[in-house]
Structure 1
Amino acid sequence: VLVSLFGLMIVLAFFQTSGLLRWASIKLIDWSGNSRVIVQSMVLTSFFGSFLLSNDIAVLTLLPIYLNILRHLPAFKGRVLGAALIVVAANLGGVFFPFSNPQNLIIYSTYSVDFVSFMWWTLPLMVAGFILVMAATLFVEKTAAHTQVEGNAVDRSIVIQASIGMVLMVIAIFGLFNIFCTVAFIVAYVLLTNWRYLLQVDYLLLLTFASFFVLVGNITNLTLVQTWLAASISSKAMAYLTGLLASQVFSNVPTTILVSPFTDQTY
């Protein structure tokens, strides 16, 4: 899982540098006539962009654009709601694919779920989330917008490299390629072309995940704790409630790491 996340972070660094998501967002804004349509455009981009670019990258890319737009809309009162919906949309869209966020990747790897089954499980959540978040945009204030936001041109060569890297990572995550060899190949390519992409990897996040893996490994060696957790979250309802409540305290990824070894309730 850690190696997969590391490889995906390198590929996402390419996408972020290419300016593709920023370009797509601004193109959507160009035809927006009012503040509500602008927010809806940003929400749509955030939602579908998180499918492949992950929820974190979608948020980190779109929010600065949104804040720049707000400078030209001083009378717009729905700015906080708009920002919140962009973040919510990224997390709702990020539930769909196994590689759209770290907790999906952990579940996909831990339980060896096949790709079609995983998407079949997450499809209702994704569809319901899309309907709800788009319905919520109807509460955004509708004011006239006549601003033009300039965006950087898309570097097509970087987009191509990023796309190839993403395809390789997806194939490796599906088990068709060896994940270690695939990531080693990507790292070697980056070292030969532009080693600075390695500086954009969130190593602290990887270290956090590694620490939780160590913590879980230690906990599973405690027979009393292992027995209690396995018995407590053996049912679907308890696994759901444990994940729901624990994620409010530990956040979603650490909760997934902590809970997954103690239950076989994948779905």
Structure 2
Amino acid sequence: MTRVWRTVSKEPVLAILVLALGVLQVVHPRSWASLPGLVDWQTVLTLAGLLILTKAIELSGFLMWAAYRLVHHIHGERGLALLLVALAAALSTVLTNDVALFAVVPLALSLHRLAPLPIKRLVIVIALSVNAGSILTPLGNPQNLFLWQTSGVSFGAFVWALLPLCAVLMLMLGAVTCAMFRNAPLDLSGDAEEHGVDRVLCGVSVLAFAGFVALADAHHAGPGLAVLAVAFLLWRREVVLKIDWLLLLIFMLMFIVLRSAAALPAIHGFIAQLGIGTPMRAYAAGAVLSQAISNVPAAIVLAEFSKDWRALAFGVSVGGFGVAIGSLANLIAVRLSGEKGMWGPFHLVSIPFWFVAVLVGWALI
């Protein structure tokens, strides 16, 4: 029990979630046996598979090799940061914001091992970029997919409606990135080793990555994960043993806590009293409620009170900025970085960005 408490106390997010769950069980108790039903297992299983595959690609040496090629073609910190921001945003439009992070953050960490970089700032702008880029398409994030399916509009119409917000936020992020990074040359003095690649492990992992994403998109993440876990345990056990198991636990607790909070009668009563029948009110409710219960639950809850899918999409998209809980992608980015003391710097950038983004969305609505 002492070891469990020591682990919890070292993880602020985990400690807050455990405390919040305890409070919720006192205020609005649920059967403990019913709590696993609140977890979006499709998302957790997909996350587990992506953790295994990105760890395999990392252990193959491919990321270090790619990082070596990249830093020898881009000679300044600012240019490198802008490239990673653009890459993360582009990937997030088709692979979802979470998957984009699993591709770009490990690459940034490999770059950091080659040349000293302000890695905390780099991870922060990458997290902001996947939230901004994923706004564009229904495939970019879960709340977009939900709102697209409930709206009944075409794929093209959805993209056209969200394009102005995505474009302005990406321009804002470009300006923020330019301000946060100097155009200083990259210091490659510590890069004196060969960067070999385990071609077999890399090739198998890349093919498996594509196959697993396709399975997850077809809602078959469970069987895909089972095949991955068994195959790597038999072939390369260290791939499975070295993933971030604590991140999976945190995600399961987040679903339980956030969905329990979203289901509180007080929250439903409060939203009903607000009267979010107008686009402006629906937008504001999405932007603000996301700060308390994350943007995916916020979209689901608010869709019961408003049919203005565009205003809701604008609101919950902007709501992904601000406090870290606004988007689960923020948590993934910080966890993948492995850096201590990330929460303060993250919020120092993300919260002002949210305030400006709220005003931008308000003007565009």
| TM-score of the pair, normalised by structure 1 | 0.69
CA deviation after TM superposition for structure 1 residue 208, in Å: 1.9
For structure 2, the 5+ residue unaligned runs are: 1-42, 304-308, 314-365
Q: 2:212 aligns with which of 160, 163, 169?
A: 169
Relative to 1, partners in 2 of residues 1:219 and 1:68: Cα closer, same or farther, differing over 3 Å? same
CA deviation after TM superposition for structure 1 residue 92, in Å: 0.7
Q: 1:25 aligns with which of 39, 42, 67?
A: 67
Q: 2:198 aligns with which of 148, 155, 161?
A: 155
Paired residue type of 1:40: G
Map 1:154-233 onto structure 2 (within 5 A).
154-175=197-218, 178-219=220-261, 221-229=263-271, 232=274
CA deviation after TM superposition for structure 1 residue 162, in Å: 1.8
Map 1:242-253 onto structure 2 (within 5 A).
242-245=285-288
Query: In 1, are the aligned partners of 2:128 and 2:173 still within 8 Å (CA)?
Result: no
- Corresponding residue pairs, total: 247
Paired residue type of 2:197: V
Greater shift, 201-210 or 134-143, is seen at 134-143
**Distance in 2 between residues matched to 1:7 and 1:197, nearest whole Å:** 11
CA deviation after TM superposition for structure 1 residue 215, in Å: 2.5
Query: In 2, are the aligned partners of 1:99 and 1:170 still within 8 Å (CA)?
Result: no
Q: 1:41 aligns with which of 64, 76, 80?
A: 80
CA deviation after TM superposition for structure 1 residue 223, in Å: 3.6
CA RMSD of aligned residues (A): 4.0
Query: In 2, are the aligned partners of 1:47 and 1:91 still within 8 Å (CA)?
Result: no
- In the TM superposition, what whole-angstrom CA distance separates every residue of 1:42-82 from its partner, at most 9, and x where no partner exists? 44145425736532663354246337524xxxxxxxx75x8
For structure 1, the 5+ residue unaligned runs are: 71-78
Which residue is equivalent to 2:100?
54
**Distance in 1 between residues matched to 2:276 and 2:296, nearest whole Å:** 16
Relative to 1, partners in 2 of residues 1:9 and 1:237: Cα closer, same or farther, differing over 3 Å? farther
Relative to 1, partners in 2 of residues 1:137 and 1:214: Cα closer, same or farther, differing over 3 Å? closer
**Distance in 2 between residues matched to 1:233 and 1:208, nearest whole Å:** 34
Greater shift, 9-18 or 257-266, is seen at 257-266
**Distance in 1 between residues matched to 2:176 and 2:294, nearest whole Å:** 28
| TM-score of the pair, normalised by structure 2 | 0.53
Secondary structure of 1:201's counterpart equals coil
**Distance in 2 between residues matched to 1:117 and 1:194, nearest whole Å:** 43
Secondary structure of 1:10's counterpart equals helix
**Distance in 1 between residues matched to 2:157 and 2:204, nearest whole Å:** 27
Secondary structure of 2:115's counterpart equals helix
